[in-house]
Structure 1
Amino acid sequence: MDKRSLWIGIGTGMIIGAVLLQLATVGQNALSDSSLETDPAATAANLTKEELELAAKSMDLKLVSTEDELYTEAEWVQKKKQESSEMQGETVAAPEKAEDTSDPEAPTEPQQPASSGNESPNNVSEPTAAEPSSPKTPQKATVTFRVRSGNSLAIVAGNLEKAGIVDDAQAFIKAGKAERINTKIQVGTYALEKGESFESIIAKITQEPSS
């Protein structure tokens, strides 16, 4: 046997050994995985309700019973649309017919007030009206008026107007000239009243005063 045949035999043996070793490793892993796997249904059956709810909460899930009705997302949206389209509330009833008021009842006669036996409707005393009292004539204010020596009719008329005895000095001058009292006016002090007539004033100032 030459060297070439020897090397070929050694290489072939090594390849076969490697393949057998790989197959053995794969089989061993398969056996270990199968021994670690457990039945989920059996595990869930051994858990209590509280443990199941806690496990579902940790995975952001919700635990439901077999009686609950489950919907897909599309079915849930369709269900909500159908509920919102249904009429809500009760049907409004028609109002009751109002009572007929075409023939109202006649009002009852008012009760007459009871009157005492001593009074009669014809024996009513009328109130007596009091006679209005006549207004009192207001007293005129008396003014002490003095005629000085040398006073002319115009000066006397102006002083009379200033004292409030006459309202118009020019009218008094006109009345005095008509009576020609320019030279008849007497010097002295006179008691004259406000609003006194021109004739009364002329008669007083053309006579000597009593005091």
Structure 2
Amino acid sequence: MFKNRSYVFGIGTGIIVGALLLQIMSVRASAPSQTGIALDEMDPQKLKVEATKYYQVFDKNTKVFTQTEFDGAVLKKVKEETDKLAAAKPQEQPKANTPELTQKIIIYVQPNLDATAVSELLVKSGIITDRKAFITELEKQGGNTKIQIGYHVFEGFTDIPKVVTNLITVQ
């Protein structure tokens, strides 16, 4: 009689299985809780103990900080402490990363170092303080590819053109 008998049979089976699953879910929703403790019968202390298993629980009068509030408070405290230290010991000033006038600094420039790597090396050793000014002066003198490999000696505080000249001339 029907040409698509298997299609109708599949729809009927799906409806029956769906109804059975719906009945099972409705019966399960009314089942007692797994812990065996009903929330209605629980006093506040037991409720707090159960909640601490899954959540952070704080008393109502406990102040809870956000991350930004905490960071602000830490920065404020650090500033206060540094001000106290500066007021307590004004004679001891931290020395800058600049060489003294009589100090010799020797730097070894390795092969295949570009201008940015050499500028980083010079800043870390305290010969220069501004990378961009050094690279600009190096480009101005045409020394991007002329930096000599080997040891370079710098005595005292030197300005950037002298540093560039020292790096591009053979010693």
Taking structure 2 as the reference length, the TM-score comes to 0.39
* Structure with the higher helix share, 1 or 2: 2
Higher relative contact order (CA 8 A, sep 6+): 2
Taking structure 1 as the reference length, the TM-score comes to 0.32
Greater C-alpha radius of gyration? 1
